[in-house]
Amino acid sequence: MGTARAPNRWGEGARLRADIVSAAAALLEESGNEDAVTLRGVARRVGVTAPAIYRHFADRAAILDAVVGEAFEELAATVAAAAHREDDASARVHAVCAAYLAFATERPYRYRVLFGRHRTAEAAMPGAKPMDELRGAGAFGVLVDAVGACADARNPPGREVQLDATALWVALHGYATLRASVPAFPWPDGDALVSILVTRLAGVPSTGPCGRDGTARSG
Partner DNA sequence: TGTACATCAGTGAACGCGCGTTCACTGATGTAC
Interface residues with DNA (CB under 7 A) are: 4-5, 7-16, 38-41, 47-52, 54-55, 59-60
CB of 218 to a copy of itself, least distance (A): 11
Site for a copy of itself in 85-104 (CB under 8 A): none
Smallest Cα–Cα separation from 39: which of 59, 56, 68, 14? 59
Contact between 56 and 19 (Cβ < 8 Å): no
CB of 104 to a copy of itself, least distance (A): 11
Contact between 111 and 104 (Cβ < 8 Å): yes
> CB within 8 A of 196, min separation 6: which ones?
213, 214
Contact between 174 and 181 (Cβ < 8 Å): no
Site for a copy of itself in 198-217 (CB under 8 A): 200-201, 203, 212-213, 216-217
- Closer by beta carbon to a copy of itself, 54 or else 187: 187
Give helix 14-31 / helix 60-84 axis angle, nearest 10°.
Answer: 80
CB of 74 to a copy of itself, least distance (A): 18
- Cα(83)–Cα(89) distance, rounded to whole angstroms? 9
**Where does this chain bind a copy of itself (CB under 8 A)?**
31-33, 35, 108-109, 112, 115-119, 122-123, 125-129, 131, 133-134, 136, 159-160, 162-163, 166-167, 169-175, 177-178, 180-188, 192-193, 196-197, 200-201, 203, 212-213, 216-217
